[in-house]
Structure formats: structure tokens, C-alpha cells
Chains A and B, each alone.
Chain A
Amino acid sequence: MLEPFHVPPKVVLQMNFKMNKMETLEVKNTMPKLGLMTGSQAVVQALIAEGVDLMFGYPGGAIMPVYDALYDVEEELKHVLARHEQGAVHAAQGYARATGKVGVCLATSGPGATNLITGIADAQIDSTPLVCITGQVASHLLGTDAFQETDVVGISMPVTKWNFQVTRAEEIPMAIAKAFYIARSGKPGPVLVDITKDAQFGEVDFNYVPFTGMRSYQPKPKLDLDSVKAAANLINSAKRPFILFGQGIILSDAEKEFKAFIEKTGIPSAWTILGLSALESDHYLNVGMLGMHGNYAPNKLTNECDVLIAVGMRFDDRITGDLSRYAKQAKIIHIEIDPSEVSKNVHADIPVIADAKEALLELSKIVDEKTHTEWLEKFSALEKEEYEVVIENELFPSTEKLTMGEVINEINVQSDHNNIVVTDVGQHQMMSCRYFKFKQTKSMITSGGLGTMGFCLPAAIGAKMGQPNKQVVAVIGDGGFQMTLQELGTMFQYGVDVKIVVLNNEFLGMVRQWQEMFFEKRYASTIMINPDFQTIVSGYGITTKKVVKREELADAVKEMLSHKGAYFLEAAVGQENNVFPMVPTGASVSEIRLK
């Protein structure tokens, strides 16, 4: 590893300390200190009381008192300095998605706070539990356009599950307790607590009481057993039932219950990209990916099933295609914790408004044991067709240039499906979802609803720091990599062992694909003249390799996966390759195209 030049001794010491500590980030049962303290100390003690041991952030004027308080608790509560607040919030998201815990990030007022917004919006639409704490100008300056003042409570309101401005130190313990409760309960989401500088300096007699509930917020709807019975009756009478599952399975820890349910009922099950890894890829009832670039069979057969059972998913438009021609022949059961998602896009004949785990447990008790051999064969037949037309060419191509699919497949084969895969957004993302195989839950971390380019690198850092014993592979396009590559600095400072795979087609590939298909190949602003990525990444002391030829690929992947520490693998892939199958915008899912 390259040694940093001209760094003051204390920084080197801190780096070594952090690097060595990387492997031992397990939760300590640290008790918070109680009694008289400053507001900023109360923030820190409240975080400790909530079990936070790792957070991400970036300091600045209005949050300095909290940073000062963090200096005293470095042992109990580690703070990772990102290189940009967007990096901090995506890292917190990656951490949350990989661990199931609440991700925490810290930023200053004004630009620090506004730089969090993309990550907050991403967490909101993908239901990721986050607590974001921002500093704010002193309360007497609020509304005066003071230096670095921005109305972050106002700005973040449409993209947070809850937010709150603290102007007095006494409010801090309750605000933080409430923030964690709301972020993690029910359908999780991001919350933001904005704390004025005078509140951070103020004094509070700290006594931490965890928040347990409020009348206006019922996170777990009571399971209605009649709706479960109605759902079971419909499932028992179904000839061609079909399950769609989403992240709700992961968020309610229902992987086991889900598997038991599908195995008892014998129902083929397809996933949304946020539901990916909730059920192992090679399960005999896992029939693949839904949606625009999903698999052929589940899209086609959505319009042939007689009962459609949606579990913990929300019928995003990328899943449904044209709603007026979506599963019109089927009766629809929707198991969902958020009442506002039921019948929002697709009418539910039988809504089961409940936590997925509770609903599946009850449902499993009263459904009949069944197999649907003929119906499953329909999936296999279409899968075979897709394999012959699309998959085989993607994974075992005869083209001169590498394909994205074959790079992914090589990683797959060599790592025995045991990685946490983090992706960015675009063609490589769809390829990753399609071709990576998974054995364990929470192994796929991707920006689904918001489609945030630049998500991957920082999210992968957060995922690795949350799961230090797992191999984390970050798959990124050449476009998205350049959106947040400053976070290589974070990797360097903390010795974060992420394997970065850049699939470089020197294009903004997904947009280019659309330009090719729907805009007469008018490649407006999608061509990328890229720098030498290896030179840049080497500057951060990361070992690099670039593969251009097929015969180099296997060895390069082997070297990457066995390398101790971070590694950067760039693969030059075909420039004008497309992702197929595809449901074009406005088409019905059953009009999915293989080419």
C-alpha cells in the first residue's frame, strides 16, 4: 500500500488506529453517561444509548460542538470522515442495508445539509432507516440568511419520514430517541434532526428514555385474520398462483417465513431488485427478476397467472409497465405494511395490511400444501428461451469485447455467491441484478426507487464497515464512478477493503441504449472521454488492474478476490452493448422484448 506523504504524525497514528480497528467493529454494550452535560454531549450520549457505534459525516461550523463531543468518545462511537456529505449519507445507507441497523450521518448547516438531500430522498423511496443530524445556525439567527443557514427542515420535509428542529438543549434526548424509533419502526425511512448551535452549547440534565410510541403513528398495523383467511382461500383455489416479493421480506426479517410459505404452497416467486437476496438465487421456486430488464418468464406470466400475491413491494412503474394491461386477469392479494401503498398503483382484491412476517406466519398455517408442476414448467420453458436468446450470449459471448455479464459471472463463479454486491445505477446495475447469484439475505445493495448514480462507492464503504467480515464487491459504471470517486479518500484513510469493479463502456450506457432504441442513435451527451482510472485510483494506494481481453479476466478476478485490502478492477466492455430483455416504456409486461 502506498504511504501517504507529508501527513502529520497524529493523523498517521489515527489512521493506523482506525485501520487496525476495522476488524473489531462489533457492538459494545456501552452505557451512556447521565447527568448534567452540554447539548452536544447529550447528542453523543443519546447515540450511544441507541447502540450506535459507527457513523459517517463531515464537520463544519454549525456542528462543531457535536464533533468536539465526539472527540471524547472515539472508543465507543467511531466517526468516519467522508469526503463529501453525499458520500456520508450513502455510506450510512450502505451500512443500514447491510446490517439492518439504523444508519447515522452527521453534517453541518447550509451546504452540508443540502448535500445530504439526495441520499435522504434515496433512503425515503427505498425505505432505509437513517438518522441524519445536521447543525444549524444559532436560534436567534434563524430566518435571517445567516452564514451557512438553510431551511433544511423545510427542504427535507418531502423526503423524510419525519424531521424536527431542536432549538433548546433539553429537547435533544427526546428528539434523538424519537428519531431512532421512527426511522426503524414500521416501514423504515430517513429522519432528520436539525440542531441549532446554541442548543448544542446549552446545558441539559441528560436522562435517556427510549421512545416507545405515539398516538398519531401506528407503525405495525394489527393483522386482520379475516383478510388472511380470505387470502388463504384464494391461494388454495388458485391454479396458476404467482408471488412477487420485495424488500418488505428483508425489512421484516421474514426470509425464513417467506421460504416456508412458498415451499408449502409451491408457488413460483419473482423479485423486485430491492427484494433480491431475500430468497437464495438457486431456490427451485425462485423464478427471477421482475420489471423492465427482468427475466422473460416472470414478466410474461404476470399476465397469465390467476392469483397474484404481492408481498412487501409497491408495484413501481418499472415493475408494472402499462398499468392498464397489468395482470388484469388475476385476483390480487397485496401483503403490505403501508396502507397508502395498497391499491395505489394496482387494485388489491384482498389487501392484507400487515408486517410481512406476521402475515406470512399466519397465512402459512392455513394454506394447503401444493405443487404446481405444470405451471412451473411454463416458467422453465420461457427461461430456456431467454437463456438461448439472451443469457448465453451475455455470459459466454463470442464477441471481441468483454460483456458486462461475463465479468459478473466470473466474479460469481469464483466467489461461490457469497459476496455483498453493491451497485450503482444503469446498465451494469441491471446486469448485476440479473446475473449475480446470492445465498444470503441483505447481500444486494442498490439504489432502486430513486436510481441515484454515485450511490455505489460510498454505499459499499458503509456496507463493508458494517459487515467487515464479508467480501464487498462494488460494481460501478464509468459514469457513476466519477460522481462520487472522492470517497476513495475515505477508503484510503480507514483502510476499507472494498473490491471496486468498474465496467467501462465509455458511455453513459443506459441512456445511450435508450438513444439507440428510441432516439435514432442520436448520442447526445452520453459519450464519455474518461481519464486513466488506474492512475487516479493508484493515487489512493489501491492496487489496480485493467482487463481488456477475455483470457485475462479469470486471473484478474482471482487476484482481486484473493487480494488483501482494497482492489480496483477495470473491465473494458463492449461500448454499444444493450441490456435485454426489455419492457419498453408504455408497453405491457407481456410485451417484453428479448432483442
Chain B
Amino acid sequence: MKKERYTISVFTEDIVGILNRVTIIFTRRKINIESIAASESEIPNIHRYTLVISEAEDMVKKVVLQLEKQVEVVKAVYHKDSEVVYQEIALYKVPTEVLLSGGEAEKIVRAHHARVLSVEPAFTVIEKTGHKAETQALFDELEPYGMLEFVRSGRVAITKPMKTLKSIVEELENIQD
């Protein structure tokens, strides 16, 4: 089967060590996690991990079931890129002087709709949100001017077709009663 990119959303109880349990499921099958983002969800005490992997769907299905099997995983789902709205954020630290001259670098920042977050005498921090291709394009153009530091976040994704987490949790809690 063909490998495709999938976004896996894992909802867990807020417990020390659960991230480790989640990543083990991937590493034991030698699946590379391309990006990972951890945060709260809309429900108190339920955390959400967003992971991106490239694998065949059949494999992704098995992994998701093994994720759900973990005692403290509330729910795990997977989606293709077309089924999620997703975003990443990138920060770029460049020498301030390249922007001061009013030359190409400033035009590049404008053309990419990037934002300047912070200006210091020695460096300027620029922010750009978007898909990886977009943040990478800005990186490629700025790099010749001197890239002091660069960081890109993991993907965060909102799923299009999913039931609300609230309704899933309510269902699970009702089974308990």
C-alpha cells in the first residue's frame, strides 16, 4: 500500500508519562514521527497530541488501535491532510541590519505576510504561520541574508469530520455509570 501523510490526534488523560506510552507505539514499529505537538484540549484534564506520520493507511489504522488500547488514552483518530485544517508556526532570527537597509529582505518578509515579533539592535525575530511549504519558502529566501536561528513547531490540526470530543467523552462516561 502507498504511504501517505496522516495526522493522528490522540486524546489522553493528563498524566505524567503518557506521552512516552504514545510514542512507544510508533517507535516499536520504527515509524518516524515527523512532527508532534502537545496541548490541552477544550475539555479540562484531557490533553491532545497531534502527530504527523507518513505510512500506509493499513498501518496507521493498526497503530491508532494500539494507541487507543493504552489505558489512559481516551480516544485516538487519524485523518488525511484533506480532512484536517492544520497549521504550523515558524520563527526566524535574522540580523537586524539586513532589514534596516530597506533592501530585498524586507520585501521578502512583506511578500510572505510574515510578522516582525521583536526587534533588537543585533537581531530581529520574524514569525510566519502556514503549512510547512510556506514556512520553508520563507526560510529559503531569508537564508542567504544570514539565518541566526530557526524553529518550526509541530503541526496543530483541527479535524473536519470528527464527532465533538465532548460527545465522545460523555459517551464513555455514561458507559462507566
Interface on A for B, CB 8 Å cutoff?
153-154, 157-158, 161-163, 165, 182, 212-218, 222, 338-340, 343-344
Which residues of B have CB within 8 Å of A222?
175
Q: Among residues 148 to 177 in chain B, which have CB atoms less than 8 Å away from a CB atom of chain A?
A: 169, 172-173, 175-176
Interface on B for A, CB 8 Å cutoff?
12-13, 16-17, 20-21, 24, 28, 61-62, 65-66, 68-69, 71-74, 169, 172-173, 175-176
A339 touches B69 (CB 8 A): yes
A216 touches B13 (CB 8 A): yes
Separation in Å of the A176 CB from the closest CB of chain B? 15
Kindly state the separation between the CA atoms of A158 and B68 in the bound complex, as whole angstroms.
Answer: 15
> Interface SS of chain A: helix, strand, loop or mixed?
mixed
**Beta-carbon nearest neighbor of A218 in chain B:** B175
Give the contacting residue for A340; candidates B62, B72, B74, B169; CB below 8 A. B62
Kindly state the separation between the CA atoms of A217 and B66 in the bound complex, as whole angstroms.
Answer: 13
Which 4 pairs show the lowest CB-CB distances between chains A and B? A340-B65, A215-B172, A216-B74, A162-B71
In the complex with contacts A157-B20, A158-B24, A215-B71 CB distance below 8 A: no
19 contacts between A and B (CB under 8 A): A153-B17, A157-B17, A157-B20, A157-B24, A158-B28, A163-B17, A182-B71, A212-B176, A214-B13, A215-B74, A216-B71, A216-B72, A216-B73, A217-B71, A339-B65, A340-B62, A340-B65, A340-B69, A343-B61
20 more A-B residue pairs beyond the given contacts A163-B17, A216-B73, with a C-beta to C-beta distance below 8 A: A153-B17, A154-B20, A157-B17, A157-B20, A162-B71, A162-B72, A214-B71, A214-B176, A215-B175, A216-B72, A216-B74, A216-B172, A218-B172, A218-B175, A222-B175, A338-B69, A339-B65, A340-B62, A340-B65, A343-B62
Kindly state the separation between the CA atoms of A161 and B66 in the bound complex, as whole angstroms.
Answer: 11
A215 touches B169 (CB 8 A): yes
In the complex with contacts A162-B71, A340-B68, A213-B176 CB distance below 8 A: yes
**Beta-carbon nearest neighbor of B28 in chain A:** A158
Which residues of B have CB within 8 Å of A163?
17
In the complex with contacts A215-B172, A215-B173, A339-B17 CB distance below 8 A: no
Separation in Å of the B23 CB from the closest CB of chain A? 10
A340 touches B176 (CB 8 A): no
Which residues of B have CB within 8 Å of A214?
13, 71-72, 176
**Beta-carbon nearest neighbor of A191 in chain B:** B71
Which residues of B have CB within 8 Å of A165?
16-17
Kindly state the separation between the CA atoms of A216 and B13 in the bound complex, as whole angstroms.
Answer: 7
Separation in Å of the A162 CB from the closest CB of chain B? 5
In the complex with contacts A216-B12, A344-B62, A339-B24 CB distance below 8 A: no
**Beta-carbon nearest neighbor of B176 in chain A:** A213
Give the contacting residue for B21; candidates A157, A213, A218; CB below 8 A. A157
**Beta-carbon nearest neighbor of B17 in chain A:** A153
Kindly state the separation between the CA atoms of A461 and B18 in the bound complex, as whole angstroms.
Answer: 35
**Beta-carbon nearest neighbor of A185 in chain B:** B71
Separation in Å of the A382 CB from the closest CB of chain B? 34
Kindly state the separation between the CA atoms of A162 and B62 in the bound complex, as whole angstroms.
Answer: 20
Which residues of A have CB within 8 Å of B66?
340
Kindly state the separation between the CA atoms of A215 and B172 in the bound complex, as whole angstroms.
Answer: 5
